[in-house]
Chains A and B, each alone.
Chain A
């Protein structure tokens, strides 16, 4: 199994009564809540933690994107990834540079995304993995002004433009519904050309998105905040059923999973050290995003709306998150916390049960201070990660969704000219 280090850039010092005073974590008044030096420090800490993880042997450095939010202050992951692309290249660290989220549903400048990512692939000499989420409603629609009913259409068009801009030898004109360019001929192009940088799509369980990633031979990422034990099971079962129905190989490497993890010498110590930060992260983070900002009319197909109204199970413990205790979060599987043995055994069991080939370990979250985050990263890297990396070794699958320079194997059924296009 590939194990990446997953980073957000949270504001780590929100007041204790934040969730009582503020409607949400994505409408927070910046100047009321932040101190400038703390914001600067939070960015430094996040970059330091990424590099700390890189030196300890994680397979990739994964960064997400969230505009106008206090729980993740990185509106463009490519800026952070550019910094660590250079730094890891200087230090000779062969780790994947993995912007998990450059949302193409919200992007009104998709060519800019194509250019940034091509630059990162050059700066890292072929280590880019490219995550393209459709986009969260509050971010794509409210922050960026895209009509909810257009988000998916823009995503589809923008993705085609990015892949073509990366690979097309000659300048071409692009006459899209949302973008028009008389000439597209970007410099640079990605180092990775046959195949292009691996493309990953993050979803929350929409069957259509799953089908799309399989049809196109992209990787599929799922984030486990809603609770692996309550929501994850449904999502993974649906994914592998879709794989089977599509007559695709049940290759675990096509699935990525983000899990919030904390590890200390003993279970009791782990709870003592991390419980407050876990509660901060969920209560003041995703739990403080009201449903009407995560889902907007027009963004979800009418049959999907009906399905959610009948059975909201895909959202797991989301509706209770704003008041979820550490015990609630453990019960739901929103976090995995304990001794190295507990954590390694839990994660390995989950990986085998759900056929997870790529684990994104979120080891700093919420208010967790820098030094404690380093302890968490360090212990995970030395005691847990080695026991996870060999989970799929005996089954002989090739990893087709990973940069070739880092051991990935080109996908024989994907086109050589346009990434994972088939």
Chain B
């Protein structure tokens, strides 16, 4: 599936305390992609974006296999926002598109709200970051492993889900992947636990870039009702609901999701 060649850029931020690793692929204008809570993975959706954009995908500190303890230098959302802004600045990206999925969607919204004027357009894919008592966000970190497929996919038995959930065949690779995913959930969880609402609701109005809010119709982790909550607060925004998809529409319904995003980006 992957046609793009992934390169890695390493950028020191936070006074040199944190070394951020950025996967880079494709060519064209800059697009920053922020991965979900379980860590970075390249997929067909990114592959298609990389045909039009240079995709920069920073790994959240601690989620890089080579440097798991970077998380020990990261303490709260405010710090993360500043670190990512520093990263974008040091990469010398001029008004990039900002795309974030789930946990990465929250980061994208926080960063765009923190630094108006810095991003060309914003795409949020089933983002966390808001909380409605009547529609609580599922606790993906505390969920039983057996419950995760149901939370992540509209069709846990479908080919997209099965491909994503299958562990590596080699036992040692499976342990590394399994432990790496657990650790990634812990690293990202460090700044969102116990309730993924860190006050973003009061900051969304600051986002000035045109924003597309994409949601899987059957998202069982962050219900689709949250799409409108984001839209109501981001001034220049619109919502696209992807029929039949769960929490990861770009994986479970790649064509439809890419269509909506490419139309918004006018590519």
Binding site for B on A (CB under 8 A): 141-142, 145-150, 177, 290, 292-293, 296-300, 302, 305-306, 309-310
- Contacts A290-B144, A306-B175 given: A141-B182 contact, CB under 8 Å? no
- The reply on B189 being an interface residue by CB < 8 A is yes
Contact A297 B175 (CB under 8 A): no
- Contacts A296-B142, A309-B178 given: A147-B193 contact, CB under 8 Å? yes
Main secondary structure on chain B at its contact with chain A? Answer: helix
Contact A142 B187 (CB under 8 A): no
Contact A149 B190 (CB under 8 A): yes
- Tell me the bound Cα distance from A147 to B77 in angstroms: 13
- Tell me the bound Cα distance from A390 to B183 in angstroms: 47
Known: A142-B142, A148-B186, A302-B180. 19 other contacts (CB 8 A): A145-B194, A147-B189, A149-B187, A292-B145, A293-B142, A297-B182, A297-B183, A298-B183, A298-B185, A298-B186, A298-B187, A298-B190, A298-B193, A299-B186, A302-B179, A302-B182, A305-B182, A305-B183, A309-B179
- The reply on B176 being an interface residue by CB < 8 A is yes
- The reply on B68 being an interface residue by CB < 8 A is yes
Q: What chain B residues lie within 8 Å of A296 (beta carbons)?
A: 141-142, 186
Q: What chain A residues lie within 8 Å of B183 (beta carbons)?
A: 297-298, 302, 305
- The reply on B143 being an interface residue by CB < 8 A is yes
- Tell me the bound Cα distance from A147 to B189 in angstroms: 7
Q: Closest approach, in angstroms, between the C-beta of B18 and any C-beta of chain A?
A: 15
Q: What chain A residues lie within 8 Å of B144 (beta carbons)?
A: 290, 292
Contact B143 A292 (CB under 8 A): yes
- The reply on B9 being an interface residue by CB < 8 A is no
Q: Closest approach, in angstroms, between the C-beta of B185 and any C-beta of chain A?
A: 4
- Tell me the bound Cα distance from A309 to B186 in angstroms: 16
How would residues 149 to 188 of chain B score, 1 for a CB under 8 Å from any chain A CB and 0 otherwise?
Answer: 0000000000000000000000000011011101111110
Q: What chain B residues lie within 8 Å of A297 (beta carbons)?
A: 141, 182-186, 189
- The reply on B75 being an interface residue by CB < 8 A is yes
Contact B182 A149 (CB under 8 A): no
Q: Closest approach, in angstroms, between the C-beta of B160 and any C-beta of chain A?
A: 23
Contact A309 B175 (CB under 8 A): yes
Contact A149 B186 (CB under 8 A): yes
Contact B176 A306 (CB under 8 A): yes
Among B175, B176, B183, the one with the most A-chain Cβ atoms within 10 Å of its Cβ is B183
Main secondary structure on chain A at its contact with chain B? Answer: helix
- The reply on B71 being an interface residue by CB < 8 A is yes
Interface residues of B in 181-207 (CB under 8 A from A): 182-187, 189-191, 193-195
Q: What chain A residues lie within 8 Å of B182 (beta carbons)?
A: 297, 300, 302, 305
Q: What chain A residues lie within 8 Å of B141 (beta carbons)?
A: 148, 296-298
- Tell me the bound Cα distance from A105 to B180 in angstroms: 24
- Tell me the bound Cα distance from A141 to B190 in angstroms: 11
Q: What chain A residues lie within 8 Å of B178 (beta carbons)?
A: 305, 309
Q: Closest approach, in angstroms, between the C-beta of B116 and any C-beta of chain A?
A: 29
Q: Closest approach, in angstroms, between the C-beta of A421 and any C-beta of chain B?
A: 24
Contact B175 A149 (CB under 8 A): no
Contact A177 B75 (CB under 8 A): yes
Q: B68, B75, B194, B195: which contacts A302 (Cβ < 8 A)?
A: B68
Q: Considering only CB atoms, which chain A residue lies closest to B144 in the complex?
A: A292
Q: What chain B residues lie within 8 Å of A292 (beta carbons)?
A: 142-145
Contact A141 B179 (CB under 8 A): no
- Tell me the bound Cα distance from A278 to B179 in angstroms: 35
Q: Closest approach, in angstroms, between the C-beta of B178 and any C-beta of chain A?
A: 6
Q: What chain A residues lie within 8 Å of B191 (beta carbons)?
A: 147
Contact B179 A298 (CB under 8 A): no
Q: What chain B residues lie within 8 Å of A293 (beta carbons)?
A: 142
Contact B189 A148 (CB under 8 A): yes
A-B contact pairs, 13 of them (CB 8 A): A141-B142, A141-B193, A145-B193, A145-B194, A146-B193, A147-B189, A147-B190, A148-B141, A149-B193, A177-B75, A298-B141, A299-B186, A302-B179
Q: Closest approach, in angstroms, between the C-beta of B138 and any C-beta of chain A?
A: 13
Q: What chain B residues lie within 8 Å of A310 (beta carbons)?
A: 175
Interface residues of B in 86-134 (CB under 8 A from A): none
Q: Closest approach, in angstroms, between the C-beta of A298 and any C-beta of chain B?
A: 2
Q: Closest approach, in angstroms, between the C-beta of B253 and any C-beta of chain A?
A: 27
- Tell me the bound Cα distance from A300 to B187 in angstroms: 11
Contact B179 A148 (CB under 8 A): no
Per CB-CB distance, the 10 closest pairs between chain A and chain B, nearest first, are: A298-B186, A297-B185, A147-B193, A297-B186, A149-B190, A302-B183, A305-B179, A145-B194, A306-B179, A297-B182
- Tell me the bound Cα distance from A293 to B141 in angstroms: 10
Q: Considering only CB atoms, which chain A residue lies closest to B174 in the complex?
A: A309
- Tell me the bound Cα distance from A293 to B144 in angstroms: 8
- Tell me the bound Cα distance from A148 to B194 in angstroms: 9
Among B68, B142, B191, the one with the most A-chain Cβ atoms within 10 Å of its Cβ is B142
Contact B189 A149 (CB under 8 A): yes
Q: Considering only CB atoms, which chain B residue lies closest to A148 in the complex?
A: B186
Contact A298 B175 (CB under 8 A): no
- Tell me the bound Cα distance from A125 to B176 in angstroms: 53
- Tell me the bound Cα distance from A285 to B176 in angstroms: 32
Q: What chain B residues lie within 8 Å of A299 (beta carbons)?
A: 186
- Tell me the bound Cα distance from A145 to B179 in angstroms: 23
Among A142, A148, A150, A290, the one with the most B-chain Cβ atoms within 10 Å of its Cβ is A148
Q: Considering only CB atoms, which chain A residue lies closest to B183 in the complex?
A: A302
Q: Closest approach, in angstroms, between the C-beta of B239 and any C-beta of chain A?
A: 31
Q: Closest approach, in angstroms, between the C-beta of B68 and any C-beta of chain A?
A: 5
Q: Closest approach, in angstroms, between the C-beta of A183 and any C-beta of chain B?
A: 25
- Tell me the bound Cα distance from A296 to B140 in angstroms: 11
Q: Closest approach, in angstroms, between the C-beta of A297 and any C-beta of chain B?
A: 4
- Tell me the bound Cα distance from A64 to B72 in angstroms: 31
- Tell me the bound Cα distance from A300 to B141 in angstroms: 13
Q: Considering only CB atoms, which chain B residue lies closest to A143 in the complex?
A: B194
